[in-house]
Amino acid sequence: MSPLIKNHKCRQIDNNSGFSLIELVIVMVIAAVVMAIAAPTTIAWLRERGVRNAADQLAMDLQRAKLMAIKENANCTITTNTPAANQYTISLNNEVVDLGRYPGSVAFTNNPEATSAAITFTPQGLCTTIPAAVLLTNQNGVLTFRVRVSAAGGISEKLYNPGTGKWN
């Protein structure tokens, strides 16, 4: 007989191995407490992230509208609140973007300054709408972003600081 077989001892499985119901309940209670603590922070982060993503998308769409105007040798306009509230339309391709797809109830706002109803780019890439700015806010107006277009067609984003009354 081989020495491996001779020295091999069969291990019996103990019927008491595993988790008890009490241990499982304790783990579930701990997990529930951790989730309850983390949930408000996660929800606040998602609301903030939503308005930031919407402002980034609007800035990219403005850049795209400017490039379409140059490429098509025609004016291209982005119109806010068209065809419905909290939507905007790009005129040359009739694309509609809905702010409702972003978390945190993103919406256009006129606070603390007016939002331009329409921003038009010429075939030279210049902006004919002066001043040209679109303001986006999240639920309860906690965060407000301004996407601004200069006369030369430059696009910038700023975050409003209500404490100082300035754009950062």
pLDDT tens column, 115-138: 999 999 999 999 998 889 999 998
Domains of the chain: 18-167 (3.55.40.10)
Q: Write down the pLDDT at residue 95.
A: 95
Q: How far apart are CA 135 and CA 167, in angstroms?
A: 11
Q: Considering the entire predicted model, what is its pTM?
A: 0.73
Please write the tens of the pLDDT for every residue from 58-115. Answer: 999 999 999 999 999 999 999 999 999 999 999 999 999 999 999 888 999 998 888 9
Query: CA 70 → CA 61, 63, 64, 75, 120, distances in Å?
Result: 14, 11, 10, 8, 12
Would you say 78 and 62 are in contact if contact means Cβ atoms under 8 Å apart?
yes
